[in-house]
Amino acid sequence: MVYHSSFVDEEGITKACGCPLLPLKSHIKGPAPLSDPDKIDIVDEAITFFRANVFFRNFDIKSPADKLLIYLTLYINVALKRLEGCRTLAVGTKAIINLGLEKVPVPGEPGFPFPGLFALPQSQQEAELFRNYLKQIREETSGRLLSCAYRPNGTPNKWWLAFAKRKFMNIIVP
């Protein structure tokens, strides 16, 4: 059974492209509101559920937060693919930083992985808001993923990096 996001109550949450801009426990600047450090956020959920959800070819969407969970699951898959050949935490950190510097496409642009999952932006401001949110959430996910993908001594954690070979929803990661 697919794990769904627990963020179903969207009252007071800003949306862009049909996606809620959920609060994050983040020190990275961006449009996401700050979350309580003691509560789990969408990034925690994505990392926690990744190893179970990556096995599914279909994902039944029960709330708009599930769309963000799908996006983050694919992003984690891409990040693990980049970390696959990195034998130390330092090399892995460099690979993740390079991934973070890549252009973040939004719905309607070439390279966006899920056409039709998110609504097209209604204005340039909405597109930039969503792009900045995705950039912020990707950077936050990358930082937290490094602590899972590598042990405290800096060696790779094979129980995480083995999942780089999986195809989420039959999407081939370059």
Quick one: pLDDT band at residue 153, thresholds 50, 70, 90? very high
State pLDDT tens for residues 95-152: 998 888 888 999 989 888 888 889 999 999 999 999 999 999 999 999 999 999 999 9
Within-domain flag for 6 = no
How confident is the model at residue 142, as a pLDDT?
Answer: 92
pLDDT above 90: residue 170: no
Q: How many helices (H) and strands (E) does the chain have?
A: 5, 2
**84-to-88, 90, 122, 158, 159 alpha-carbon distances in Å:** 10, 13, 38, 9, 12
Within-domain flag for 3 = no
Within-domain flag for 70 = yes
Which CATH number does the domain housing residue 78 bear? 1.10.1760.10
* DSSP secondary structure letter of residue 131: H
Within-domain flag for 1 = no
How confident is the model at residue 91, as a pLDDT?
Answer: 95
Q: Which of 18-22, 126-130, 135-139, 162-166 has the lowest mean pLDDT?
A: 162-166
Which residues partner with 34 through β-bridges? 24
85 lies in which domain range? 15-170
Within-domain flag for 5 = no
Rounded CA gap, 26 and 80, in Å?
A: 21
Within-domain flag for 8 = no
Within-domain flag for 85 = yes
The count of structural domains within the chain is 1
Rounded CA gap, 153 and 141, in Å?
A: 21
Name 71's Cβ contacts closer than 8 Å, sequence gap at least 6. 19, 113, 114, 117, 134
pLDDT above 70: residue 173: no
pLDDT above 60: residue 165: yes
